[in-house]
Amino acid sequence: MLKKRLLALAVLVALAIGSQTTARWLVAAVSAFAAPGRNTIQIKGSDTMVNLGQAWAEKYMEKNPAEFIAVTGGGSGTGISSLISGTCDIAMSSRNIKDKEITLANKKGIDPYEIRVALDGLAVVVNPANPVGKLTFDQLAGIFTGKISNWKEVGGNDGKIVILSREINSGTHVYFKEHVLRKNDPASKEEFAPSALLLSSSQAIADEVAQNTGAIGYYGMGYISDKQKPVMVAKDEKSEYEAPTIENVVNGKYPISRPLLIYTNGQPQESVKKFIDFCLSKEGQEIVLATDFVPINK
């Protein structure tokens, strides 16, 4: 009876909050508590991948009612830390695991095993009212390091550029810094401008860009909506400007793309392997496409 009451309370709280994602989490968390005996898989990590992970989990549980999968975000670093501490079965990550994380994992008896599950393009977005529609890598690096601070310097209106970034534990933050700001140069020490607003999620960046005409941010292209305008990007002034589309990620034309990864402790076994096999199956990769990411298996 207590478990049923908790589930009902979760539903009421979720409805009051009005967030579909939060609603799913509250109901899912209590459902896991209310369903003893079901096999439970804990997945944590990349906020970029959280909607994809939830979509996989929901479809998988429909097909396998004896299984329960809990998916939470928090950033790639959070997921990898959870795997190392033994508090999750699968870590979602939009970056490769770092050497120091592998060393720490091994000291704790954890053997991180990497699996590529999808591809993603990072979209650079501005407010739809902003006339700027294309930028080079050099211009992007100048903007996000603070060397370019006014939109008129890149062909826009006279106005301050408001820089939005993910927090430092985010794989998206790390990838953008290394790939765009530092242009994959190991010797580069470029950092985001001190004035950059570090936001906790891709959705927070999307929401801020939607209401701030001076803002610029970046996130996985699955978050693009008509409330933000994706900027076309070129490696340099002599290169073609390309839009963040699935086609351009597949054919390699869009220059800011990356693999999406999951990590397990050693090669996946039993229920974890069964779930991952589903993610990599034709049906699982169709879900990748439906959530605006790029399948690795067609």
Give the number of other Cβ atoms within 10 Å of residue 155's Cβ.
12
Report field, pTM of the whole predicted structure over 0.85: no
Could you list the pLDDT tens digit for every one of the 298 residues in the chain?
A: 444 444 444 444 444 544 444 444 444 444 444 444 558 999 999 988 998 999 999 999 999 999 999 999 988 999 999 999 999 999 999 999 999 999 999 999 999 999 999 998 899 999 999 999 999 999 999 999 999 999 999 999 999 999 999 998 888 898 899 899 999 888 999 999 999 999 988 889 999 999 999 999 999 887 889 999 999 999 988 999 999 998 898 888 999 988 899 999 999 999 999 999 999 999 999 999 888 788 986 5
- Same domain, residue pair 35 and 134: no
Q: Is the dihedral of CA 213, 218, 223, 225 positive or negative?
A: positive
- Same domain, residue pair 248 and 282: no
- Same domain, residue pair 187 and 271: no
- Same domain, residue pair 205 and 159: yes
* Alpha-carbon torsion, ordered 61, 65, 19, 81, to 10 deg: -60
pLDDT at 297: 66
pLDDT at 1: 41
- Same domain, residue pair 114 and 132: no
- Same domain, residue pair 129 and 227: yes
pLDDT at 220: 85
- Same domain, residue pair 93 and 11: yes
Decide if 68 is inside a domain.
Answer: yes
- Same domain, residue pair 85 and 181: no
8 A C-beta contact, residue 235 and residue 179: no
Decide if 125 is inside a domain.
Answer: yes
- Same domain, residue pair 91 and 181: no
> How many domains does the chain contain in total?
2
Burial category of 24 from C-beta neighbours within 10 Å (exposed 0-12, middle 13-18, buried 19 and up): middle
Burial category of 113 from C-beta neighbours within 10 Å (exposed 0-12, middle 13-18, buried 19 and up): middle
pLDDT at 223: 85
- Same domain, residue pair 140 and 202: yes
Decide if 16 is inside a domain.
Answer: yes
- Same domain, residue pair 42 and 17: yes
**Among residues 188, 124, 196, which one has the least CA distance to residue 154?**
124
Q: Which residues contact 133 (CB under 8 A, 6 or more apart)?
A: 229, 231, 232
Residue with tokens 């939830």: 54
Domain that holds residue 103: 2-119+260-290
Decide if 9 is inside a domain.
Answer: yes
- Same domain, residue pair 104 and 55: yes
Decide if 7 is inside a domain.
Answer: yes
pLDDT at 201: 87
Decide if 296 is inside a domain.
Answer: no
Decide if 295 is inside a domain.
Answer: no
Give, in degrees to the nearest 5, the angle at Cα 258 between 296 and 171.
125
Phi, psi of 8, deg, nearest 5: -65, -40
CATH number at residue 129: 3.40.190.10
Decide if 248 is inside a domain.
Answer: yes
**Among residues 40, 18, 17, which one has the least CA distance to residue 28?**
40
Q: Which residues contact 152 (CB under 8 A, 6 or more apart)?
A: 158, 159
